[in-house]
Amino acid sequence: MAKPLRKDAQRNRDLLVEAARGLYAVRGLDVALEEIAKTAGVSIGTLYNHFPQRAELVDAVFADRTKTVVSIAEHALALDDPWAGLTHFVERICELQAADRGYNELASTRPPPAGDHERGYELMTRIVDRAKESGALRADFTLEDMAFVTWGIARTVEATAALRPDAWRRHLALLFDGMRAAAANRLPEPPLRPEELARLMGHCG
């Protein structure tokens, strides 16, 4: 078990996370670490002491977001209508993307987020399976296909944010129509395998 940080060290860590969160939300994940340290009012050495790798800072910034996504998934599963549960989950995730440029970039370089890996995978699997079992979601839709939704909305948010910040909702509605069982036609390519998705995400990140 890691030793608790001293009060001053914890304060510096909290300042760094808060500074990074604000900068990432507005400008994305490529903000210079030196600027994050300056905004936090600490030295770059202090930043590296707490976060030797940029990815560790990113994880710390969005740790609370993963808890939010788990709560969204749990609420989606509590809805009586499986299709409503699926669309609620996806729309809420897309709203998180649209509200935070950094999170939007993160969503397009990592698997669809749903909290801690095992818990998130379990919840998302249940959301998708329940919608398929109800006959509302096309039978050939897989959990890996959710990445196409995430990637597509991420790019729409990026392209339209300055002029039409809600345009992604139209894009998502079109995607939902394509996901309905009643609209399904034979797909020309097989779904991505889990290992293929992991490999693709690795290249994106």
- pLDDT tens per residue, range 68-98: 888 999 999 999 999 999 999 999 999 999 9
Spell out, as residue ranges, where the chain has pLDDT lower than 50.
112-115, 205
pLDDT of residue 201: 73
pLDDT of residue 99: 93
pLDDT of residue 2: 58
- Would the CA dihedral through 162, 165, 168, 170 be positive or negative? negative
pTM, whole model, 2 decimals? 0.84
**Cα distance between residue 156 and residue 164, in whole Å:** 10
Burial of 126 (0-12, 13-18, 19+ CB in 10 A): middle
pLDDT of residue 120: 77
**Cα distance between residue 123 and residue 74, in whole Å:** 7
- pLDDT tens per residue, range 149-178: 989 999 999 999 999 999 999 999 999 999
pLDDT of residue 114: 46
pLDDT of residue 116: 55
Residues 98 and 165: beta-carbon distance below 8 Å: yes
Residues paired with residue 137 on neighbouring β-strands, in sequence order: 180
